[in-house]
Structure 1
Amino acid sequence: MYILGISYGFVATVVLLKDGKIIACASEERFNGIKNYNGFPQKAIDYCLFEAGIKGKDLDLVTTPYTNLPPSHFSLDKKKNPQDKSLLSRLFLVGGIVRKIFRVARYYFPNTLRPPGQISYRIVVKLLSNYYSKNQKKQISDYLKIPASKIVSFDHHLSHATCAYHSSSYNQDKALVFTLDGEGDGECATVNIFEGIKHRVLSTTPREHSIGYIYGHVTKFLGMKPHEHEYKVMGLAPYAKASEVDKVYSKIKNFIDFDKDDPLKFVTKRNAQDFDIFLRKNFLEVRFDNLAGGFQRLVEVKIKEWVEKAVKKTKINTVILSGGVFMNIKVNQVVASLPKVKRLFIMPSCADETGAIGSSYLGYLMLKKNKNTLPIEPISHLFWGPSFSDKEILGKLKSIKKKVSYKKVKEVEGVTAKLLSKSKIVANLSGRMEFGARALGNRSILANPSDPETIKVINEQIKSRDFWMPFAPTILAERQKDYLVNPKNIDSPYMMMGFNTTKLAQKEIKAALHPSDGTCRPQILDQSFNPRYYKIIKEFEKLTGIGAVLNTSFNIHGFPIVLGTEEALKAFLSSGLEYLVMENYLITKK
């Protein structure tokens, strides 16, 4: 049984499920080079079908993770989305101008204008959504040459929750599943109980009370891109002085509360989409790091309280997190620290891209009802993208031999480790490409984590990163106790959680820690997860005594993580990288 899950919108993504197991998954941005691409993921569809050796006609079902498709998921930019030329879409943009005027009025008269504003928005979006959903379904149907009856849409937050629960190793146990994002299908947060194939929604929060939108407004207010640079706000927060953070927090701590009748439902004093007005009125003269620190504390405090309330109410101590707000690894660290949370799973790359996975799971469960099919298999890795053979790599190298020198080496892991031990920076491309926002060793830039000079080199010569942003380590599983404070032994193979660190870490892997608070976002690596990558670090450990490396994604500023040989060589030649390893080839510049 083949099911194709397709997520339009930010970081458009496609997944192919075979008998309940993911066999291919990739985001369109990797193929077209447009970071966070928003639109029809044609090349990702082609890749997934090619990987399985099937065609559209062989699919049992195609799924999408929205029942009311947000118009923002379509662009008038013909390069991004040539399908969208309609008068209706242009009228929506005109309506957006009217809506901006209404937002200002609603901010000053919230009790009068907020209710009718919510109702009118839902009506307009429903009408537009019907049009866009039909357009989307036709586009998929035409491209795959399948009847429209094979295309099914599922609720956005249910897709998030189902994705996280069934991807976890707890997917036969009773678990509390939280979803939290900007919005999807009119909601921004849900609390759910899952047990096997059974599922119950305990609470939902409407979009107008969205913590995700509030954090997005802060991101934009600080001069960064919402939906993309929220992680930079989180990274900036620890630099602020506690006393200054207190001042900001005291002004905003009551902006988000909980509903009196439903204590698991968030309530904001004003519509979260109007929060930019609040920021301009109150924080124009507040320093950027202090603002980041205050709002980071706000989301940590409120989400902590939210999870505590749900655990106390249900007496369930297995907690699962999904949705874009849970890309905030410091929030996740706070949730992990709660005494009553005994087991925790955070869906890797849990923003909208994993909606494709969740909707495919829901489609599989729907078709499974009357058939003897296998259960959904928990994920054990994220290596679902393309791979490239030595033969393909050699062919590409020969075509640019005037620009590079290369040689095939027998013990490539040992050679890589030796370069790292000499504080050389090495880009690595090997095996199948990892899915998601985090590089997990197969499309990574690696460095010596004990050498702070590597930070400057990577920032200035390779990636053009903001100076305040920390790097992250990959730590051998057997060495995690040497470097991490992890009393609950929470697994972290996907870089989805922050940890406090030991004194030894602050000596041996200081280049991979946050410079201000000494925390880190580690990938804890078991040998079975990625044997080749594990061997590189093990060989590095033999040479240096350090059981970790600095790991950052293999891409240059403004571009997605590299797909394969062509993208890797382009990034290599256009940056200050000195060494590139592609499978068994070591490459340098002439």
Structure 2
Amino acid sequence: MLVLGISETHCATAAVLRDGQLVGCASEERFSRLKNDAGYPRRAIDALLRELHLDRGALDLVVLAGTRIPTYEWMNRVMRDEAYRRRYYGVGLETPRRGLTGRARKLGARLGLLDPAPGKAPLADEERRAHVTGHLGLAAERVRIVDHHACHAAAAYFGSPFGGREALVLTNDNSGDGLCATVSTARATTLERREATRSGPGSLGSFYTLVTLLLGMKPGEHEYKVMGLAPYAPAGGAEQALAALRATFDFAPGEPCRFEWRTRGPLYRTLLEATLGLRFDAIAGGAQRLLEEALLRWVRLARERYGVERLALGGGVFMNVKANMLLAEEPWVSDLFVFPSCGDESNAVGAAYLGYLELCAARGTAPAPRPFGPAYLGPSLDDAEAEEAIR
């Protein structure tokens, strides 16, 4: 059985699963040379098919990650067009409220017609399928579209070395299909979602992204620099920044739990006013502390509710290795697996796992998903090719 998993959002990626084993994975940015390139990863798919000596018609199923994604043009614009990015995030002292236009846009979002963010519109499923069928020559019946956080969870659990043993599977990111976090339990080949947190009230990912922007760095790319800067903050300054930031955003326990903004109005301006006069390193230190403490509270609560001591983690927030270290140090954690590069690029792998399980069920075959294994999954390069590139 051959399944192609595709993620079209930032850092668009393709992954190929053969009989439950991941045999190829590559991101479009490696071929376009555009960092975090979004869209249909045509060149990555072609490279994988060449590398694996596969005909396009040999693919049994193609699975697209995410049931609702923005247009490719918008995703790339918000990453590359600095002027537009500043307008989109409301960077400035005088950011007007959206008023009736904003309310109308939110109504359109509830009806599935528009995204609540200005300039951001959803990409139709038909258009997404057309990219696949037009490129690979496959029938539309062989294309599936699956939930964003289900892909994160599938990559984390089936990619782990747990061998089907029971685990608590947690996903946490900025936003995907209207959610920012999920809690699932897993055993063997079954993933059961227990809780889902909406991203509308806020998310840890959006909070950390806005802090990255506030510190003059590129959101969606330079969050690791905020994490790296945090330890250099004086303890007193970081504590002061933590208190200021917590007045604007924090974790709210409940069923489900929430990560929420505590004030109304333009978010960038809210953070700017809350941290006015604080040093840049103190802000980074406070933001990192807030993320770590919120994440720990959420994970501990999930463990109390569902009682599992083995963790599988996915989603962009778990790219924060300092927070992951604290989770690994929890005395109740018996084993922990974080999917490598667990942002949206990992959803191509999760989508492929989900497609494989579907095929097994349809064919009456016992599924046997294999763990992720070594990450050397892109096109190979021999000495002659390397020498030719150098010359």
Verify the 8 A CA contact 1:70 1:125 in the aligned structure 2.
no
Q: 2:142 is matched with which residue?
A: 150
Name 1:17's counterpart in structure 2. Answer: 17
1:241 paired to 2:234: yes
CA distance 1:298–1:104, shift in 2 (3 Å): farther
Change (3 A) 1:294 1:261: closer
Secondary structure at the counterpart of residue 37 of structure 1? coil
Q: In the alignment, does 2:274 pair up with 1:282?
A: yes
- CA distance in 1 between partners of 2:192 and 2:325 (Å): 26
Higher RCO (CA-CA < 8 Å; seq separation 6+): 2
Q: Return the TM-score normalized by structure 1.
A: 0.59
Give the structure 2 partner of residue 537 of structure 1. Answer: none
**What CA distance in whole angstroms lies between the structure 2 residues aligned with 1:185 and 1:277?**
26
Tell me what 2:125 maps to.
133
Q: Is the 8 A contact 2:68 2:123 kept in 1?
A: no
How far did 1:264 drift? 3.2
Which residue does 2:373 correspond to in 1?
380
Partners of 2:135 and 2:316 in 1: how far apart? 29
Which residue does 1:30 correspond to in 2? 30
Aligned counterparts of 2:106 and 2:329: Cα–Cα separation in 1? 37
Output the amino acid matched with 1:383: Y
Q: How does 1:280-359 map to 2 (within 5 A)?
A: 280-359=272-351
- How far apart, in 1, do the equivalents of 2:76 and 2:236 lie? 46
* Counterpart for residue 536 of structure 1: none
How far, CA to CA, are the matches of 1:49 and 1:340 in structure 2? 43
Asked whether the 8 Å contact 1:191–1:264 carries over to 2, the reply is: no
Partner of residue 121 from structure 1, selected from 109, 113, 129: 109
1:307/1:75 CA distance change after superposition, 3 Å: closer
How has the CA–CA distance of structure 1 residues 32 and 174 changed in structure 2, closer, same or farther, with 3 Å as cutoff? same
Aligned equivalent of 1:212: 205
Identify the match of residue 151 of structure 2 among 156, 159, 183: 159
Alpha-carbon distance between aligned partners in 1 of 2:31 and 2:279, rounded to the nearest angstrom: 39
Percent identity between the two aligned chains: 35
Please give the per-residue CA displacement for 1:522-581, whole angstroms capped at 9, x wherever unaligned.
xxxxxxxxxxxxxxxxxxxxxxxxxxxxxxxxxxxxxxxxxxxx3xx49xxxxxxxxxxx
Q: CA 1:173–1:256 in structure 2 vs 1: closer, same or farther (change >3 Å)?
A: farther
Pair 1:365–1:235, CA change in 2 (3 A): same
- TM-aligned CA deviation for residue 35 of structure 1: 1.3
| Contact 2:248 2:274 survives alignment (8 Å) | no
Q: Secondary structure at the match of 1:344?
A: strand
Q: Distance in 1 between matches of 2:52 and 2:128?
A: 24
Distance 1:34 1:158, change over 3 A: same
Q: Distance in 2 between matches of 1:219 and 1:76?
A: 18
Gaps of 5+ in 1: 81-92, 397-565, 571-590
Classify 1:184/1:76 alpha carbon distance in 2 versus 1 (closer, same or farther; 3 Å): closer
Moved more, 9-18 or 255-264: 255-264
Larger radius of gyration: 1
Give the superposition deviation at 1:257.
4.2
Name the aligned partner's letter for residue 19 of structure 1: D
TM value normalised by structure 2: 0.88
RMSD: 3.1
> Paired residue for 1:174, among 163, 166, 187?
166
- Map of 1:404-423 to 2, 5 A cutoff? none
**Aligned in 2, Cα 1:282/1:117: closer, same or farther, shift over 3 Å?**
farther
Cα distance in structure 1, aligned partners of 2:231 and 2:19 = 45
SS at match of 2:221: coil
Equivalent residue for 1:267?
260
Contact 2:48–2:379, Cα closer than 8 Å, also in 1: no
SS in 1 for 2:97: helix
Deviation for aligned residue 1:51: 1.7
Aligned residues: 378
Stretches of structure 2 lacking an aligned partner (at least 5 in a row): none
Tell me how far apart the structure 2 counterparts of residues 278 and 53 of structure 1 sit (CA, whole Å): 53
Q: Which residue of 2 aligns with 1:67?
A: 67
